[in-house]
Structure 1
Amino acid sequence: MLNLAAVTNVLSVKQIKSIVGAQDTPQIALWSGAVSSGKTIASLLAFLCALATAPTTGLVVVVGRTLQTIERNLIDPLQSPELFGGLAQQVIHTTGSTTATILGRTVHLVGASDTRAEGRIRGSTVALAYVDEATLVPYSFWMMLLSRLRVAGARLLATTNPDGPGHWLRREFILRAGDVGMRHWHFTLDDNPSLEADYVERLKTQYTGLWHRRFIEGAWVLAEGAVYDAWNPAKHVVKTLPRITQWIATAVDYGTTNPFHAGILGLGADGYLYLTHEWRYDSKTSRRQLTDVEYSARMRAWLASAPVPGTDMVGLAPRYTVVDPSAASFRLQLHEDGIRSVLGDNEVLPGIRTVASLLATYRLFIHESCTGLIEEFPGYSWDPTRAERGEDAPIKVADHGLDMLRYAVHTTRQTWHARLAPARLDLAA
């Protein structure tokens, strides 16, 4: 076994027990619980220990939602000397490559974002597997991966944040741990001794409602009630806008029979995000559907006439035009009209989590003129029927402005994240 003291300066008792215990696990070792609770570092140390003694027959695979998340969540930490000391030099990987060399062993990096990923391991023999964020991996892929552990001593190590109580990972594996050869360790923020108190407090502030119970408390709970339970129109809706230092995006949720809803996102001089303008067209109330040509012309006219806050000028040209991924024909029309657009990031739950965090920390505000968007917030709720089936999804009713907001904020997060001001904790009081 590797010398744990040589690769990290601080480990909690629970982390050490999980690392040691994972080496004696019959087949599946799972770390679950709160964000930043130390489960990933513990599981990676356990993975390195397991890799050093893994059967030489069979593949070693590391699985994540995408290759990019594997690189960000796993490879980058493993290559950090601050975390893993001299062992970091034995983790060799070229960005974008589907393999890495770790402790001299070839490791295959497998993205498993949908059921098609099952074919990437079909027919393989796996000696050791590591799965990042197991609740996000398709059930069929997980079961196929287990069936590939065909050599003596083959094991699977995995981490996850909690999901709904009906999720297959909890229902079929955690609750039946003894029957399926699993050992499970549950972590909370208090199990990570390396966290500073102010960082813990900041995390607790950033997550609200469902996300707080799952990612801070580490509970497997249903998605129920309001999606944006931190929404407070008395605080989030503003009458006066600050000077906007960067017009980040025009975002569009496209509709023909459903409403077409566009909005403009800007970063204020105060360091906070503002949804400053909106344009909405509802064919049902207007009694006429518009073509892509007409939508493009009207949207461009709206941008050209949009007032610049605090000035007598009109006309806005945000850096990005973010469009609903399903609106392929509209994107083509924009291109023909000289507007380059980008696909909106349509990972619904991560997008909702980004917006919810900004609302909870009072770093996203809506101008009072955006009445269509403001009216949608109170009724945006989790679907209880799907929650009972272990699925997290909002009810798809009156959500076009909220989808637009999610596209605007989540798709452009790398643009504004580093420039965002601290949380407005005074407003949270």
Structure 2
Amino acid sequence: MALINLLTKKQIKVLQSYLNDDWKYLILNGAVRAGKTVIDNYLFLLELKRIKKLAEIEKEPHPQYILAGYSSNSIYTNVISSIENQFGIVMKTDRHGHYHLFGIDIVPAYTGSVRGIGAIRGMTSYGAYINEASLATHEVFQEIVQRCSVRSARIICDTNPDIPTHWLKTDYIDNHDPKARIKAFSFTIGDNTFLSKDYVEALKAATPRGMFYDRSILGQWVTGDGIVYQDFNKDTMVVDEVPDDLEYYCGVDWGFAKGHENVITVMGDDLDTDISYLIGVYKSTGKYIDYWVDIAQQIQDKRGYGINFWCDSARPEYVSYFQQQDIQARNADKSVMDGIEYCSSRIKLGKFKVLRSCAEPFLDDLYQYVWDPVKGVPKKEHDNVMDSFRYGLYNQHKQLDNEFIPNIYI
């Protein structure tokens, strides 16, 4: 079978560079679902075979290699499971949590925290494969680089884009010093010619415009510009009434002082139309926890006992107190960018609307909730209603997805 039937043109270009060019770092960056990890997994196997030959020449009986990722789960999902499915190679761990293949001791390193340094500190590595490199803590990334000190050691990376001032972009991808020996390839979603046209069109239509589209579809390293939820249209998304039969839930952002208000947002899903409605906003300063228990119980009395209250986990004593009062309080996943991207996609698709009677506090924060152009995340201003709404909408639907829909994205 011809190579063009197995790999895309961009993947073949990467493979040719791997085989023929002189490089120390090979970095694949760009759009989601563009085929970066697929080709990197293949190069990972080629690297292990190359290292095996090199170790035999150097009479090294126990060559080691670093396999790095944000977490144990991301390493397994993005690399190990994919290799097993793609090549039929079963990779199991030993009692130390290391993988073994082709006679190479593969040491996992978790890059999401500086604690990840502990797994590789002091080791000498023949190379590294770093998955989701832009999510790596800079200290751990540098430690991996320093561990790869064996002659001919090389480092393979793949990543989605981040802000243009990210250290991976400025120090590596944009580093054209020949002595650094860095080869970088940028991918767009159009590079993956194996994706169906229907899937690509649907993904483009669902991806919020602005930063998320530029990063996820075009593979660009950009920061946010203007308000976070650019696709919200008050003319079509603020409504005078909502359906009667909704599945209700709430988001809770704890606060007390002015500028850091406590907020409970009440939302409901119309299961027939898949539209989520914001139907209530309770916002105040200077109120103690018993006040908010009363509010939550009033919501339960009106909307139904046992509805989820997705809470800011920064105040575990408040979450616990809610639970003691028979309120279904749950710690929310507070992932800012994942949550915003999900909420933005619902808005873009017209799947989110706001009841006019509670629109004022929502819109007041919405139009002042803007990107920090340096950090690439929303500014910590006018974010109380925005956080509460995000906790509820993102976590309620994340729970439903986990219960009923298998995770098909790698």
What interval of TM-score do these two structures reach, taking the shorter chain for normalisation?
A: 0.7 to 0.9
Q: 2:12 aligns with which of 16, 24, 30?
A: 16
Q: CA-atom RMSD, angstroms?
A: 2.7
Distance change (3 Å), C-alpha of 1:43 and 1:324: same
Q: Is the 8 A contact 1:63 1:109 kept in 2?
A: yes
Distance change (3 Å), C-alpha of 1:235 and 1:65: farther
2:89 match: secondary structure: helix
| Partner residue in 2 for 1:76 | 81
Paired amino acid for 1:349: M
Matched, 1:368 2:356: yes
Deviations 1:229-261 (A, max 9, x none): 1111122223332354643x3220111112111
CA distance in 2 between partners of 1:4 and 1:399 (Å): 54
Alignment TM-score, normalising by the size of structure 2: 0.86
Matched, 1:88 2:88: yes
What is the correspondence of 1:222-301 to structure 2 with a 5 Å cutoff? Answer: 222-242=223-243, 244=245, 246-247=247-248, 249-257=249-257, 258-283=260-285, 289-301=286-298
Q: Is the 8 A contact 1:274 1:367 kept in 2?
A: no
Distance change (3 Å), C-alpha of 1:396 and 1:38: same
CA distance in 2 between partners of 1:4 and 1:316 (Å): 61
CA distance in 2 between partners of 1:262 and 1:103 (Å): 55
Paired amino acid for 1:210: M
What is the correspondence of 1:322-337 to structure 2 with a 5 Å cutoff? Answer: 322-337=310-325
Distance change (3 Å), C-alpha of 1:170 and 1:321: same
For structure 1, which segment, 31-40 or 120-129, has the greater mean C-alpha deviation from structure 2 after superposition?
Answer: 120-129
Paired amino acid for 1:263: T
| Partner residue in 2 for 1:378 | 367
Q: 1:397 aligns with which of 381, 386, 390?
A: 381
CA distance in 2 between partners of 1:266 and 1:72 (Å): 33
2:175 match: secondary structure: helix
**What's the CA shift for 1:9?**
4.6
Matched, 1:173 2:178: no
Deviations 1:298-355 (A, max 9, x none): 322232134xxxxxxxx3532x321102112211211322335322112211211111
For structure 1, which segment, 187-196 or 330-339, has the greater mean C-alpha deviation from structure 2 after superposition?
Answer: 330-339
Q: Is the 8 A contact 1:28 1:157 kept in 2?
A: yes
Paired amino acid for 2:314: S
Q: Is the 8 A contact 2:242 2:277 kept in 1?
A: no
| Unpaired segments ≥5 residues, structure 2 | 56-61, 406-410
Alignment TM-score, normalising by the size of structure 1: 0.83
| Partner residue in 2 for 1:414 | 398
Q: Is the 8 A contact 1:90 1:103 kept in 2?
A: no
Deviations 1:89-128 (A, max 9, x none): 333469xx94444456443333222333333322222223
CA distance in 1 between partners of 2:348 and 2:152 (Å): 46
Paired amino acid for 1:298: I
What is the correspondence of 1:11-160 to structure 2 with a 5 Å cutoff? Answer: 11-23=7-19, 24-55=21-52, 56=55, 57-80=62-85, 84=86, 87-92=87-92, 98-103=97-102, 105-160=104-159
**What's the CA shift for 1:158?**
0.7
| Partner residue in 2 for 1:355 | 343
Identity %: 24
CA distance in 2 between partners of 1:100 and 1:360 (Å): 43
Query: How many residues are aligned here?
Result: 390
CA distance in 2 between partners of 1:235 and 1:66 (Å): 41
Deviations 1:372-405 (A, max 9, x none): 2233212211123xx1xxx212122211111112
